[in-house]
Structure 1
Protein backbone atom coordinates (compact mmCIF):
# COMPACT_ATOMS: atom_id res chain seq x y z
CA UNK A 1 0.00 0.00 0.00
CA UNK A 2 1.40 3.37 -1.08
CA UNK A 3 0.96 6.03 1.60
CA UNK A 4 1.02 9.79 0.87
CA UNK A 5 4.47 10.05 2.49
CA UNK A 6 5.79 7.15 0.39
CA UNK A 7 4.34 8.64 -2.80
CA UNK A 8 5.73 12.10 -2.07
CA UNK A 9 9.19 10.70 -1.35
CA UNK A 10 9.09 8.62 -4.53
CA UNK A 11 8.18 11.65 -6.63
CA UNK A 12 11.05 13.65 -5.15
CA UNK A 13 13.40 10.71 -5.62
CA UNK A 14 12.44 10.30 -9.26
CA UNK A 15 13.36 13.93 -9.92
CA UNK A 16 16.75 13.74 -8.25
CA UNK A 17 18.19 10.24 -8.82
CA UNK A 18 20.16 9.92 -12.03
CA UNK A 19 19.65 6.21 -12.60
CA UNK A 20 17.81 3.35 -10.91
CA UNK A 21 21.08 1.59 -10.01
CA UNK A 22 22.10 4.48 -7.73
CA UNK A 23 22.25 3.58 -4.02
CA UNK A 24 19.99 5.31 -1.49
CA UNK A 25 21.40 8.63 -0.29
CA UNK A 26 21.56 9.06 3.51
CA UNK A 27 20.11 5.54 3.96
CA UNK A 28 18.79 4.94 7.48
CA UNK A 29 16.25 2.84 9.38
CA UNK A 30 14.23 5.72 10.86
CA UNK A 31 13.02 9.18 9.96
CA UNK A 32 15.56 11.13 12.02
CA UNK A 33 18.86 11.83 10.27
CA UNK A 34 21.04 10.22 12.94
CA UNK A 35 19.46 6.75 12.68
CA UNK A 36 21.65 3.78 11.74
CA UNK A 37 21.56 2.26 8.27
CA UNK A 38 21.21 -1.30 9.50
CA UNK A 39 18.61 -3.98 8.82
CA UNK A 40 16.73 -5.52 11.72
CA UNK A 41 15.13 -8.93 12.12
CA UNK A 42 12.99 -10.06 15.07
CA UNK A 43 14.14 -13.08 17.08
CA UNK A 44 11.00 -15.17 17.46
CA UNK A 45 10.92 -18.44 19.38
CA UNK A 46 13.89 -17.83 21.67
CA UNK A 47 14.64 -21.00 23.63
CA UNK A 48 17.04 -22.15 26.32
CA UNK A 49 17.80 -25.85 26.26
CA UNK A 50 20.58 -28.30 27.03
CA UNK A 51 23.46 -28.55 24.57
CA UNK A 52 25.91 -30.84 26.36
CA UNK A 53 28.29 -30.54 29.28
CA UNK A 54 30.90 -28.16 27.84
CA UNK A 55 29.77 -25.23 30.01
CA UNK A 56 29.06 -23.05 26.97
CA UNK A 57 25.93 -21.62 25.35
CA UNK A 58 24.94 -21.92 21.70
CA UNK A 59 23.31 -18.98 19.96
CA UNK A 60 21.37 -19.46 16.72
CA UNK A 61 19.70 -16.55 14.96
CA UNK A 62 18.86 -14.81 11.71
CA UNK A 63 20.30 -11.37 11.11
CA UNK A 64 18.15 -10.60 8.07
CA UNK A 65 15.28 -12.15 6.15
CA UNK A 66 15.39 -12.22 2.35
CA UNK A 67 12.55 -11.31 -0.01
CA UNK A 68 10.59 -9.52 2.73
CA UNK A 69 9.96 -5.79 2.45
CA UNK A 70 10.63 -3.42 5.35
CA UNK A 71 10.56 0.37 5.69
CA UNK A 72 13.73 2.41 5.31
CA UNK A 73 14.44 6.11 4.80
CA UNK A 74 16.73 8.11 2.54
CA UNK A 75 17.30 11.80 1.86
CA UNK A 76 13.83 12.09 0.31
CA UNK A 77 11.73 10.10 2.77
CA UNK A 78 10.46 6.56 3.32
CA UNK A 79 10.77 3.65 0.90
CA UNK A 80 10.45 -0.13 0.98
CA UNK A 81 13.67 -2.12 0.96
CA UNK A 82 14.11 -5.81 0.09
CA UNK A 83 17.23 -7.98 0.33
CA UNK A 84 17.43 -10.43 -2.57
CA UNK A 85 17.91 -14.10 -1.76
CA UNK A 86 21.62 -14.94 -2.11
CA UNK A 87 22.73 -11.30 -1.93
CA UNK A 88 25.55 -12.12 0.48
CA UNK A 89 26.96 -15.17 -1.32
CA UNK A 90 30.12 -13.53 -2.66
CA UNK A 91 30.92 -11.80 0.64
CA UNK A 92 30.37 -14.91 2.75
CA UNK A 93 32.65 -16.92 0.44
CA UNK A 94 35.70 -14.80 1.32
CA UNK A 95 38.49 -16.82 2.91
CA UNK A 96 39.36 -13.84 5.13
CA UNK A 97 35.79 -13.02 6.14
CA UNK A 98 35.88 -11.04 9.40
CA UNK A 99 32.53 -10.51 11.11
CA UNK A 100 31.86 -10.39 14.87
CA UNK A 101 28.68 -11.11 16.83
CA UNK A 102 28.14 -8.02 18.98
CA UNK A 103 25.61 -6.26 21.18
CA UNK A 104 23.94 -3.18 19.72
CA UNK A 105 26.53 -2.76 16.94
CA UNK A 106 29.13 -1.89 19.59
CA UNK A 107 32.43 -3.22 18.28
CA UNK A 108 33.87 -3.50 21.79
CA UNK A 109 31.06 -5.85 22.88
CA UNK A 110 32.09 -8.87 20.84
CA UNK A 111 30.99 -12.36 21.85
CA UNK A 112 32.12 -14.41 18.82
CA UNK A 113 33.97 -13.83 15.54
CA UNK A 114 34.32 -15.62 12.22
CA UNK A 115 38.12 -15.29 12.23
CA UNK A 116 38.39 -17.23 15.51
CA UNK A 117 36.08 -20.02 14.40
CA UNK A 118 33.48 -19.11 17.01
CA UNK A 119 30.91 -17.61 14.60
CA UNK A 120 29.42 -19.12 11.45
CA UNK A 121 27.35 -17.21 8.87
CA UNK A 122 25.40 -18.98 6.13
CA UNK A 123 22.67 -18.12 3.69
CA UNK A 124 19.42 -20.04 3.41
CA UNK A 125 16.40 -19.34 1.25
CA UNK A 126 15.02 -17.44 4.24
CA UNK A 127 17.92 -15.14 5.05
CA UNK A 128 21.29 -14.63 6.73
CA UNK A 129 21.65 -17.31 9.39
CA UNK A 130 23.93 -16.87 12.41
CA UNK A 131 25.39 -19.57 14.65
CA UNK A 132 27.76 -19.12 17.59
CA UNK A 133 28.14 -22.66 18.99
CA UNK A 134 30.22 -21.99 22.11
CA UNK A 135 29.57 -18.68 23.84
CA UNK A 136 31.41 -18.36 27.13
CA UNK A 137 28.97 -17.76 30.03
CA UNK A 138 31.79 -16.04 31.93
CA UNK A 139 31.95 -13.35 29.25
CA UNK A 140 30.28 -10.24 30.65
CA UNK A 141 28.24 -9.57 27.50
CA UNK A 142 27.03 -13.16 27.25
CA UNK A 143 25.98 -13.11 30.92
CA UNK A 144 24.22 -9.79 30.30
CA UNK A 145 22.24 -10.73 27.19
CA UNK A 146 21.36 -14.39 27.81
CA UNK A 147 18.65 -13.82 30.44
CA UNK A 148 17.16 -11.00 28.38
CA UNK A 149 16.85 -13.31 25.39
CA UNK A 150 15.40 -16.00 27.63
CA UNK A 151 12.76 -13.60 28.98
CA UNK A 152 11.90 -12.14 25.58
CA UNK A 153 13.02 -8.66 26.64
CA UNK A 154 15.36 -8.49 23.64
CA UNK A 155 14.19 -10.28 20.53
CA UNK A 156 15.74 -8.76 17.41
CA UNK A 157 18.92 -8.91 15.34
CA UNK A 158 20.51 -6.60 12.82
CA UNK A 159 23.52 -6.62 10.53
CA UNK A 160 25.89 -3.91 9.37
CA UNK A 161 27.05 -4.11 5.76
CA UNK A 162 27.86 -2.20 2.57
CA UNK A 163 25.58 -2.25 -0.46
CA UNK A 164 27.52 -3.33 -3.54
CA UNK A 165 24.67 -3.58 -6.02
CA UNK A 166 20.97 -2.78 -6.07
CA UNK A 167 18.18 -1.14 -8.05
CA UNK A 168 15.16 1.08 -7.53
CA UNK A 169 11.74 0.02 -8.77
CA UNK A 170 10.39 2.00 -11.76
CA UNK A 171 8.24 4.14 -9.44
CA UNK A 172 11.08 4.67 -6.91
CA UNK A 173 9.06 3.38 -3.96
CA UNK A 174 11.18 0.23 -3.49
CA UNK A 175 14.89 -0.49 -3.43
CA UNK A 176 16.20 -4.04 -3.86
CA UNK A 177 19.65 -4.97 -2.52
CA UNK A 178 21.09 -7.51 -4.96
CA UNK A 179 24.57 -7.82 -3.46
CA UNK A 180 26.01 -6.76 -0.10
CA UNK A 181 29.42 -6.98 1.58
CA UNK A 182 29.43 -7.89 5.27
CA UNK A 183 33.25 -8.23 5.60
CA UNK A 184 34.32 -6.06 8.56
CA UNK A 185 30.67 -5.30 9.30
CA UNK A 186 28.84 -7.18 12.06
CA UNK A 187 25.81 -9.19 13.12
CA UNK A 188 24.24 -7.73 16.25
CA UNK A 189 21.66 -8.49 18.90
CA UNK A 190 19.66 -5.28 19.18
CA UNK A 191 16.59 -3.71 20.73
CA UNK A 192 15.18 -2.22 17.52
CA UNK A 193 16.46 -1.84 13.97
CA UNK A 194 14.66 -2.08 10.60
CA UNK A 195 13.58 -5.53 9.32
CA UNK A 196 11.01 -7.14 11.66
CA UNK A 197 11.36 -10.81 10.68
CA UNK A 198 13.40 -13.92 11.72
CA UNK A 199 14.01 -16.69 14.31
CA UNK A 200 16.67 -17.61 16.89
CA UNK A 201 17.47 -19.84 19.81
CA UNK A 202 19.89 -19.86 22.71
CA UNK A 203 20.83 -23.23 24.17
CA UNK A 204 21.97 -23.81 27.74
CA UNK A 205 24.37 -26.62 28.70
CA UNK A 206 23.16 -29.22 31.17
CA UNK A 207 25.33 -27.81 33.93
CA UNK A 208 27.26 -24.55 33.69
CA UNK A 209 30.27 -24.05 35.97
CA UNK A 210 29.47 -21.65 38.80
CA UNK A 211 32.99 -20.59 39.71
CA UNK A 212 32.51 -16.95 38.90
CA UNK A 213 29.92 -14.34 39.67
CA UNK A 214 28.99 -14.03 35.99
CA UNK A 215 28.41 -17.77 35.63
CA UNK A 216 26.39 -17.92 38.84
CA UNK A 217 24.18 -15.03 37.74
CA UNK A 218 23.69 -16.60 34.35
CA UNK A 219 22.74 -19.96 35.80
CA UNK A 220 20.15 -18.33 38.06
CA UNK A 221 18.74 -16.18 35.25
CA UNK A 222 18.36 -19.14 32.89
CA UNK A 223 16.90 -21.53 35.44
CA UNK A 224 13.48 -22.82 34.51
Structure 2
Protein backbone atom coordinates (compact mmCIF):
# COMPACT_ATOMS: atom_id res chain seq x y z
CA UNK A 1 0.00 0.00 0.00
CA UNK A 2 1.32 3.48 -0.83
CA UNK A 3 2.57 5.91 1.79
CA UNK A 4 -0.59 8.04 1.65
CA UNK A 5 -2.93 5.09 2.18
CA UNK A 6 -4.86 4.74 5.43
CA UNK A 7 -6.44 1.73 7.08
CA UNK A 8 -9.63 1.67 9.13
CA UNK A 9 -11.33 -1.27 10.82
CA UNK A 10 -14.76 -2.01 12.18
CA UNK A 11 -15.82 -4.79 14.53
CA UNK A 12 -19.16 -6.10 13.31
CA UNK A 13 -20.28 -9.68 12.84
CA UNK A 14 -18.69 -11.44 9.88
CA UNK A 15 -21.18 -13.98 8.65
CA UNK A 16 -20.34 -17.23 6.88
CA UNK A 17 -22.61 -18.92 4.33
CA UNK A 18 -22.16 -22.14 2.37
CA UNK A 19 -24.05 -23.21 -0.74
CA UNK A 20 -24.81 -26.70 -2.06
CA UNK A 21 -21.63 -26.70 -4.17
CA UNK A 22 -19.47 -26.25 -1.09
CA UNK A 23 -18.64 -22.62 -1.89
CA UNK A 24 -18.11 -20.63 1.32
CA UNK A 25 -18.92 -16.92 1.29
CA UNK A 26 -18.19 -14.48 4.11
CA UNK A 27 -20.05 -11.21 4.37
CA UNK A 28 -19.91 -8.12 6.54
CA UNK A 29 -19.19 -4.42 6.57
CA UNK A 30 -15.72 -2.92 6.17
CA UNK A 31 -17.02 0.61 6.94
CA UNK A 32 -20.16 2.09 8.48
CA UNK A 33 -21.52 5.51 7.56
CA UNK A 34 -22.07 8.10 10.27
CA UNK A 35 -20.30 6.31 13.11
CA UNK A 36 -17.87 8.59 14.95
CA UNK A 37 -14.47 6.95 15.41
CA UNK A 38 -11.72 8.24 17.68
CA UNK A 39 -8.45 8.30 15.73
CA UNK A 40 -5.70 7.81 18.28
CA UNK A 41 -7.14 10.50 20.55
CA UNK A 42 -6.08 13.17 18.04
CA UNK A 43 -9.38 13.70 16.23
CA UNK A 44 -12.76 12.15 15.49
CA UNK A 45 -13.61 10.78 12.08
CA UNK A 46 -16.86 10.07 10.27
CA UNK A 47 -17.36 8.45 6.88
CA UNK A 48 -20.10 10.25 4.98
CA UNK A 49 -22.79 8.42 3.07
CA UNK A 50 -21.68 8.15 -0.56
CA UNK A 51 -17.93 8.23 0.18
CA UNK A 52 -17.43 5.07 -1.93
CA UNK A 53 -19.79 5.90 -4.82
CA UNK A 54 -17.19 7.06 -7.36
CA UNK A 55 -14.43 4.60 -6.50
CA UNK A 56 -16.75 1.59 -6.81
CA UNK A 57 -17.49 2.49 -10.42
CA UNK A 58 -13.98 1.57 -11.56
CA UNK A 59 -11.82 0.16 -8.74
CA UNK A 60 -10.56 -3.40 -9.06
CA UNK A 61 -10.51 -3.94 -5.30
CA UNK A 62 -8.72 -6.91 -3.74
CA UNK A 63 -9.60 -8.76 -0.53
CA UNK A 64 -6.82 -9.82 1.84
CA UNK A 65 -6.41 -11.48 5.18
CA UNK A 66 -5.01 -8.97 7.70
CA UNK A 67 -3.99 -6.51 4.94
CA UNK A 68 -1.28 -8.97 3.85
CA UNK A 69 -0.88 -8.57 0.07
CA UNK A 70 0.48 -12.10 -0.12
CA UNK A 71 -2.76 -13.55 1.27
CA UNK A 72 -5.33 -12.78 -1.42
CA UNK A 73 -8.89 -13.93 -0.73
CA UNK A 74 -10.77 -12.42 -3.65
CA UNK A 75 -10.90 -9.77 -6.34
CA UNK A 76 -13.68 -7.70 -7.90
CA UNK A 77 -12.58 -8.36 -11.50
CA UNK A 78 -12.58 -12.14 -10.96
CA UNK A 79 -16.06 -12.08 -9.41
CA UNK A 80 -14.86 -13.58 -6.12
CA UNK A 81 -15.30 -10.26 -4.27
CA UNK A 82 -18.38 -8.06 -4.25
CA UNK A 83 -18.15 -4.61 -2.69
CA UNK A 84 -21.23 -2.40 -2.62
CA UNK A 85 -22.38 0.73 -0.91
CA UNK A 86 -25.74 0.51 0.84
CA UNK A 87 -27.57 2.67 3.40
CA UNK A 88 -25.42 1.25 6.23
CA UNK A 89 -21.94 1.38 4.73
CA UNK A 90 -19.44 -0.57 2.64
CA UNK A 91 -20.88 -4.09 2.32
CA UNK A 92 -18.43 -6.87 1.45
CA UNK A 93 -18.94 -10.45 0.24
CA UNK A 94 -15.94 -12.70 -0.37
CA UNK A 95 -16.09 -16.21 -1.83
CA UNK A 96 -13.31 -17.82 0.19
CA UNK A 97 -10.76 -19.71 -1.89
CA UNK A 98 -10.04 -23.39 -1.34
CA UNK A 99 -6.57 -22.54 -0.05
CA UNK A 100 -4.99 -22.89 3.38
CA UNK A 101 -5.89 -19.25 4.16
CA UNK A 102 -9.47 -19.75 2.97
CA UNK A 103 -9.95 -22.92 5.01
CA UNK A 104 -8.26 -21.41 8.07
CA UNK A 105 -10.44 -18.30 7.86
CA UNK A 106 -13.58 -20.40 7.58
CA UNK A 107 -12.64 -22.24 10.79
CA UNK A 108 -11.62 -19.04 12.62
CA UNK A 109 -14.87 -17.27 11.71
CA UNK A 110 -16.93 -20.30 12.77
CA UNK A 111 -15.16 -20.34 16.15
CA UNK A 112 -15.63 -16.58 16.59
CA UNK A 113 -11.91 -15.83 16.63
CA UNK A 114 -12.07 -13.51 13.62
CA UNK A 115 -14.79 -10.87 13.89
CA UNK A 116 -13.83 -7.80 11.93
CA UNK A 117 -13.33 -6.26 8.53
CA UNK A 118 -11.22 -3.38 7.44
CA UNK A 119 -10.43 -1.33 4.37
CA UNK A 120 -7.40 0.40 2.91
CA UNK A 121 -8.01 3.72 1.18
CA UNK A 122 -6.73 7.12 0.12
CA UNK A 123 -8.88 10.15 0.91
CA UNK A 124 -9.79 12.20 -2.16
CA UNK A 125 -12.23 14.62 -0.52
CA UNK A 126 -12.58 15.55 3.14
CA UNK A 127 -13.89 18.26 5.42
CA UNK A 128 -12.44 19.36 8.76
CA UNK A 129 -14.29 20.99 11.64
CA UNK A 130 -12.19 22.38 14.47
CA UNK A 131 -14.95 24.20 16.35
CA UNK A 132 -15.37 21.47 19.00
CA UNK A 133 -13.05 20.19 21.72
CA UNK A 134 -11.41 17.84 19.24
CA UNK A 135 -11.05 18.26 15.46
CA UNK A 136 -13.53 16.23 13.41
CA UNK A 137 -12.76 14.88 9.96
CA UNK A 138 -15.59 13.94 7.64
CA UNK A 139 -14.46 11.71 4.79
CA UNK A 140 -16.53 12.62 1.74
CA UNK A 141 -14.82 10.51 -0.93
CA UNK A 142 -12.08 7.88 -1.06
CA UNK A 143 -10.11 5.81 -3.50
CA UNK A 144 -10.73 2.28 -2.22
CA UNK A 145 -7.59 0.15 -2.42
CA UNK A 146 -8.53 -3.05 -0.57
CA UNK A 147 -10.73 -4.73 1.99
CA UNK A 148 -9.54 -7.22 4.57
CA UNK A 149 -10.85 -9.75 7.01
CA UNK A 150 -8.88 -8.96 10.14
CA UNK A 151 -8.05 -10.87 13.28
CA UNK A 152 -7.56 -7.76 15.38
CA UNK A 153 -9.26 -4.62 14.09
CA UNK A 154 -7.31 -1.46 14.77
CA UNK A 155 -7.19 2.08 13.48
CA UNK A 156 -3.88 2.19 11.66
CA UNK A 157 -2.73 5.01 9.45
CA UNK A 158 -3.04 7.64 12.20
CA UNK A 159 0.23 9.28 11.15
CA UNK A 160 -1.03 9.76 7.61
CA UNK A 161 -4.37 11.06 8.92
CA UNK A 162 -2.54 13.53 11.19
CA UNK A 163 -0.58 14.73 8.15
CA UNK A 164 -3.95 15.34 6.48
CA UNK A 165 -5.12 17.40 9.46
CA UNK A 166 -1.89 19.41 9.35
CA UNK A 167 -2.33 20.01 5.59
CA UNK A 168 -5.92 21.18 6.14
CA UNK A 169 -4.75 23.62 8.83
CA UNK A 170 -1.99 24.98 6.58
CA UNK A 171 -4.48 25.46 3.72
CA UNK A 172 -6.88 27.29 6.05
CA UNK A 173 -4.04 29.57 7.31
CA UNK A 174 -2.99 30.25 3.71
CA UNK A 175 -6.59 31.12 2.73
CA UNK A 176 -6.98 33.36 5.80
CA UNK A 177 -3.66 35.09 5.05
CA UNK A 178 -4.63 35.65 1.39
CA UNK A 179 -8.05 36.97 2.45
CA UNK A 180 -6.48 39.36 4.96
CA UNK A 181 -3.98 40.59 2.35
CA UNK A 182 -6.81 41.20 -0.14
CA UNK A 183 -8.81 43.15 2.45
CA UNK A 184 -5.73 45.29 3.28
CA UNK A 185 -5.09 46.07 -0.39
CA UNK A 186 -8.76 46.97 -0.93
CA UNK A 187 -8.68 49.25 2.13
CA UNK A 188 -5.48 50.92 0.88
CA UNK A 189 -7.07 51.48 -2.53
CA UNK A 190 -10.12 53.11 -0.89
CA UNK A 191 -7.89 55.26 1.35
CA UNK A 192 -5.82 56.46 -1.64
CA UNK A 193 -8.97 57.29 -3.63
CA UNK A 194 -10.40 59.24 -0.70
CA UNK A 195 -7.18 61.26 -0.45
CA UNK A 196 -7.14 61.83 -4.18
CA UNK A 197 -3.88 59.97 -4.71
What is the TM-score with the length of structure 1 in the denominator? 0.62
User: Using the alignment, how far apart are the partners of 1:105 and 1:48 within structure 2?
Assistant: 20
Q: 3-state DSSP class of the match of 1:111? A: strand
Match of 1:86 in 2: 50
Q: Which has the higher Rg, Structure 1 or Structure 2?
A: 2
Aligned residues: 151
Q: 3-state DSSP class of the match of 2:154? A: coil
User: Using the alignment, how far apart are the partners of 1:40 and 1:62 within structure 2?
Assistant: 9
Give the conservation status (yes or no) of the 8 Å contact 2:15–2:28: no
Q: 3-state DSSP class of the match of 2:27? A: strand
Between Structure 1 and Structure 2, which shows a larger proportion of helix residues? 2
Among 160, 168, 185, the alignment partner of 2:128 is 168
User: Using the alignment, how far apart are the partners of 2:81 and 2:63 within structure 1?
Assistant: 7
Q: 3-state DSSP class of the match of 2:19? A: coil
Match of 2:153 in 1: 192
Among 17, 32, 47, the alignment partner of 1:65 is 32
Give the conservation status (yes or no) of the 8 Å contact 1:157–1:193: no
Q: What value does the CA root-mean-square deviation take over the aligned residues?
A: 2.1
- In structure 2, list runs of 5 or more residues that go unmatched: 157-197
- In structure 1, list runs of 5 or more residues that go unmatched: 1-25, 28-35, 196-224
Higher RCO (Cα < 8 Å, 6 or more apart): 1
